[in-house]
Structure 1
């Protein structure tokens, strides 16, 4: 039995993001870097690009294509779920 696996090819996020969104690549360990810090997000997003959009001073919306995945508090180093996604699991 031959098993073929291939990674889905998606357009690079940096080419379609507005200038105010910082694009970061999620590492193989599931982490992203922002301003000399590193934060775990999810191993499910390994190798993918996410967008970070500053909502308030030190609070960043984490965006993957269109949906918001949550918010990252840079001071407390915490990620909270997006309000629109709560209660849908």
Structure 2
């Protein structure tokens, strides 16, 4: 075994998105809050910056880096909470 000579960062750089994508921080439970709408993106993404890209009237793609995690429709919210709709890549 040979250790890599490349340094490993103590902290990964913060995720950035183009200006047309809204950036929101996930809380310690993996939930992002957008104007009273709570979207669960997953505990594994807690404290990460998540992107929301509007793709229709009240319809948003939820993005982490280059990956579209799923889609939400604000009309599907129950008590201000909505879950991701994940489409199959096939």
Deviations 1:37-67 (A, max 9, x none): 2222211101111100001111101110101
Q: Give the equivalent residue in structure 1 for 2:48.
A: 48
CA RMSD of aligned residues (A): 1.9
Equivalent residues, number: 77
Query: Which structure has the larger Rg over C-alpha atoms?
Result: 2
Stretches of 4+ moved more than 4 A in 1? none
Higher relative contact order (CA 8 A, sep 6+): 2
Query: Please, which of 69, 79, 87 is the counterpart of residue 84 of structure 2?
Result: 79
SS of residue matched to 2:85:
strand
1:34-45 aligned within 5 A: 34-45=34-45
TM-score of the aligned structures, taking structure 2 as reference length: 0.73
Q: Give the equivalent residue in structure 1 for 2:3.
A: none
Deviations 1:2-22 (A, max 9, x none): xxxxx96222224xx211100
The answer to whether the 8 A contact 2:72-2:84 is kept is yes
Deviation at 1:78, TM superposition (A): 3.6
Identify unmatched segments of 5+ residues in structure 2. Answer: 1-8, 77-81
Q: Give the equivalent residue in structure 1 for 2:4.
A: none
Identify unmatched segments of 5+ residues in structure 1. Answer: 1-6
